[in-house]
Amino acid sequence: MLKLEKRPQPSQTWIYLAPVVAVIATMIAGGALFAALGKDPLVAIRTIFWDPLFSEFAFFYRPQLLVKGAPLVLIAIGLSLGFRAGIWNIGAEGQYIVGALTGAGVGLAFYPLEGWFIFPLMVLGGALGGWAWAMIPAVLRVKFGTNEILVSLMLVYVAEQLLASMSLGLMKNPQGFGFPGSRNLQQYPSAHNAELIAGSGMHWGVVAALIAVVFAYVLLTRHILGFHIRLTGEAPRAARFAGVNPGRLVLICLGLAGAMAGLAGLFEVSGPAGRVSIDFNVGYGFTAIIVAFLGRLHPLGIALAGLLMALTYIGGEIAQSRLGLPAAAIQMFQGMLLFFLLAVDLMTNYRLRLTKREVA
Amino acid sequence: MKLTQLLTTAALALGLATGAMAQDKLKVGFVYVGPVGDGGWTYEHDKGRQAIEAEFGDKVETVFVESVPEGPDAERVMTQMALDGAGLIFTTSFGYMDPTINVAAKFPDVKFEHATGYKRADNVSTYSARFYEGRAIQGHIAGNMTESNIVGYIGSYPIPEVIRGINSAFIHARKVNPDVEFKIVWAYTWFDPAKEADAAKVLIEQGADVILQHTDSTAPLAAAAEAGNIIGFGQASDMSEYADGPRVSSIIDDWAPYYIARTRAVMDGTWTSTDTWDGIGPGMVGIGEITDKVPAEVKAEALAMKDAIAAGEYHPFTGPLNKQDGSVWLAEGEVADDGTLLGMDFYVEGIEGTIPN
């Protein structure tokens, strides 16, 4: 008989092995799915994982990995701090939207003035917007004990309505023939988050994501706040005895996550997306939750996980177009990744034991 | 090297490579905003794609990517198709406008066709359909059929295209029924079955017995079927699976003739950048079969109106028409110009409520 037995300590090997096993299991199960759809599984897997990196047109896809991965990493880093402390911000998507709105709002307010100070002000505006939106669930939790999971999630839908209203009203392009959507910030040099080196995919959002990874790493390993975060997550009672103020931690963790999501929104709206439009948000805030867990809530892991997710998006599009795979199959493939990770995660805390059947 | 240079070089190299192959195969790409199985907007575009394959057989290869978000993702998908050697790319949602223009600038030899936008370039055409012509016929049927005199209208977003449809339907409903009122709910989505069903239920609770929709799913029809004694119309696609129930007719987007013509133009080398806005006449807007629930004389009138619009004898926006505030918009016999229609941001006289802003 097979029996699950709880490990006294989480297995160090499995912590690192689990994501690798999950990726391999996803490839096998995904390959079976693609084969069932009548496609060559090896070609499909190669198209998704290999072609964006090493094919003929990799010079175009590699920079795109940074463009697609940067917002995921930036948001996921912010989320991971809270997740480690057991503070569940599920509403990064909303904070991302509001950050984009406030940041773009600052830029649009200056239009058509040109000046070096405009973009830094927009960055500040984006961070503040995301921070403020995250403060709503944070303050409600600290003051009234509401559940931050529900409040932050619900505020995503409020933010989406706000986005629609802004695209149709206040921020609508006066020269847009009545169509919804703001001016294109790509055509407004002072507000444009352009590529720092043309063709590299590096824009300020990528730089911010890298800084966030380093910042989070230092915070968690070297700073007392990082220690408190880890302590609260791992041993809440001990944390209380150690004098950690839980309310303060909620405010800090949600605030940081909100500000980072807001920054991601601002860099996206002023760079790759260019304009505030009704369908501006494409789910980065939700995908970042997967990225955070795929990366083991560890800053370096998150950076790798963000790039891996970006790879499946870009490779998935190529597979759709070249092989005629349906979008739903690609989404299932991405979903499998999280599913297998959670399944394999069991091995971190439990081990399989062969036991003899007991005689009655 | 700059990316644009790299891309141009790649495009040139491909241009040379595909130039040799061009005699036997043209690759046509499609970028879709929804899933091909949405039963509405994207479904009809995909039928257009299949029509190209049926028409040209081995001479074309079509590729598509579905559910592509508007913005940088769309830009990447278009670039990827162009790099893979597509010679003609259809981008089938308004939000693909700026991405299409950006990508088109990098691939001067690839032809782009953008649906429902207003930005063009030497290698970017735009095309759209005069859906408001179909709305006129819908309004005529709705005005005749309603018993509660309340017609519910599910709007997607308050943009000119949707407002045009509301006005057209309302004008023609009022013409046959001076007591009719429109209740308008904004769903703020093009495709979200749950939200659309909720909107339909709210309208039905408020007494509407006719539901018009400018959203793409069949959910409002399903809600109408559930409530009973409610009629509705297919949107974008025929939605004939509800013909035994609430659906009495439909507005069908038929992109196939246009798609085939544009593909042929690229093959012949006669493709030029154009702006197309076609209606019932050229067949871009179709009226789905009017079922027996509609009285014979109403059906005959509706079909007569369809023929008159197709022949160019009747324009759905013909004066006298006033704006909502009572000011004169069109004098007796005057016909609305396309510019006003394209930017329409006002209701006509008689519609209650304001356009959200």
Residue-level pLDDT at B356: 79
Q: Which residue of A has its CA nearest to B70?
A: A279
Q: Report d(CA A255, CA B4) in Å as an integer.
A: 40
Cβ neighbours for B221, distance < 8 A, ≥ 6 positions apart:
B211, B232, B234, B239, B242, B245, B246, B247
* Chain B residues within 8 A of A164 when measuring between CB atoms: 157, 188
A1-5, A61-65, A210-214: the lowest-pLDDT one: A1-5
Per-domain residue ranges for chain B? Answer: 3-129, 131-252+285-342
Residue A317 in contact with partner chain B when CB distance is under 8 A: yes
| Chain CA centroid to CA B161, Å | 9
CA distance B196 to B186: 9
Cβ neighbours for B173, distance < 8 A, ≥ 6 positions apart: B139, B140, B142, B143, B146, B151, B180, B182
- In CATH terms, are B3-129 and B131-252+285-342 the same topology? yes
Contacts 24+ apart (CB under 8 A), A206-209: A206/A66, A206/A67, A206/A70, A208/A70, A208/A74, A208/A263, A208/A264, A208/A267, A209/A69, A209/A70, A209/A71, A209/A73, A209/A74, A209/A77, A209/A303, A209/A306
What is the rounded distance in angstroms from the CA atom of residue A302 to the CA atom of residue B84? 32
| Per-residue tokens: A126 | 């984006």
Residue ranges of chain B whose CB lies within 8 Å of a chain A CB: 1-4, 6-7, 10, 29, 35-36, 63-73, 75-77, 79-81, 83-84, 94-95, 98, 118, 157-160, 188, 342-345, 356-357
pLDDT digits (tens, 9 = 90+) for A309-360: 999 999 999 999 999 999 999 999 988 988 998 888 888 888 888 777 666 5
- Do the Cβ atoms of A168 and B157 come within 8 Å? yes
CA distances from B183 to A73, B32, B113, B153, B155 (A): 45, 31, 36, 6, 10
Per residue, the 3-state secondary structure of B91-145, as one string, reads: ECCHHHHHHHHHHHHHCCCCEEEEECCCCCECCEEEEEECHHHHHHHHHHHHHHH
Identify the CA nearest to B135 among candidates B293, B342, B316, B330: B316
User: What is the share, in percent, of chain A residues with pLDDT greater than 70?
Assistant: 98
Distance in angstroms (rounded) separating the CA atoms of residues B93 and B32: 7
| Distance between CA atoms of residues A181 and B95, nearest Å | 9
Beta-carbon neighbour count of residue B170 at 10 Å?
26
What is the overall mean pLDDT for chain A? Answer: 91
* A272/B10 CB distance under 8 A: no
- Tell me, what's the pLDDT at B21? 47
**Chain A to chain B Cβ contacts (< 8 Å):** 117
- For chain B of 357 residues, list the mean pLDDT of each consecutive stretch of 10: 53 47 78 88 94 95 93 93 95 92 94 93 95 96 96 91 95 96 91 92 95 92 93 92 91 95 95 94 93 94 96 94 94 92 91 85
Q: Which CATH superfamily is domain B131-252+285-342 in?
A: Response regulator (3.40.50.2300)
Are the beta carbons of B286 and B235 closer than 8 angstroms? no
Taking the CA of residue A185 and the nearest CA in chain B, the distance in Å comes to 11
Alpha-carbon distances of B124 from A22, B116, B253, rounded to whole Å: 44, 12, 21
Binary contact (B345, A178; C-beta < 8 A): yes
Residues of A in contact with B65 (CB under 8 A): 317, 320-321, 327
At residue B112, φ and ψ (nearest 5 deg) are -120, 145
Under DSSP, is residue B181 helix (H, G, I), strand (E, B) or coil?
strand
Amino acid at A195: E
B63–A314 CB contact, under 8 Å: no
A233 touches B: beta carbon within 8 Å: no
- The answer to whether the beta carbons of residues B153 and B183 sit under 8 Å apart is yes
Query: Which residues in chain B have Cβ-Cβ distances shorter than 8 Å to A178?
Result: 159-160, 342-345
- The ipTM is 0.85
CB B70, CB B239: distance < 8 Å: no
Task: Inspect the interface and report whether the beta carbons of A164 and B157 lie closer than 8 Å.
Answer: yes
With an 8 Å Cβ cutoff, are B157 and A278 in contact?
yes
The whole-number pLDDT of residue B37 equals 86
- Fold for B3-129, please state it: Rossmann fold (3.40.50)
Residues of A in contact with B81 (CB under 8 A): 321
Would you say B99 and B230 are in contact if contact means Cβ atoms under 8 Å apart?
Answer: no
Q: How many CB atoms lie within 10 A of CB B338?
A: 10
Label the pairing between strands B247-253 and B231-236: parallel
A60 contact residues in B (CB cutoff 8 A): 3, 6-7, 10, 79-80, 83
CA A193 to chain centre: 20
Q: What is the DSSP letter of A242?
A: T
Interatomic CA distance for residues B262 and B137, integer angstroms = 29
Q: Do B157 and A63 touch (CB under 8 A)?
A: no
Selected residues 163-182 of chain A with any CB under 8 Å from a CB in chain B = 164-165, 168-169, 177-181
d(CA A277, CA B81): 24
Domains observed in chain A: 40-324 (1.10.3470)
CA dihedral B16, B18, B19, B22 (to 10 degrees): 180
Please provide the DSSP assignment of B229-252 as one string: S-EEEEEES--GGGTTTTEEEEEE
Q: Which residue bears the tokens 């016929």?
A: B137
Residues of A in contact with B75 (CB under 8 A): 272
| CB proximity under 8 Å: A 30-69 to B | 57, 59-61, 63-64, 67-68
Q: DSSP for A66-94?
A: HHHHHHHHHHHHHHHHHHHTT-----HHH
User: How far does Cα A223 stand from its chain's mean position?
Assistant: 24
Contacts of A116 (CB under 8 A, 6+ apart): A190
Nearest CB to B66 within list A67, A165, A326: A326
Cα separation values, A273 from A92, A118, B73, B117, B263, Å: 18, 18, 9, 17, 30
Q: What are the chain A neighbours of B3 within 8 Å (beta carbons)?
A: 60, 63, 195, 198-199
Residue A314 and residue B76: Cβ atoms within 8 Å?
A: yes
Residues contacting A193, CB < 8 A, separation 6+: A119, A185, A203, A204, A205, A266, A267, A270, A271
A197 touches chain B (CB under 8 A): no
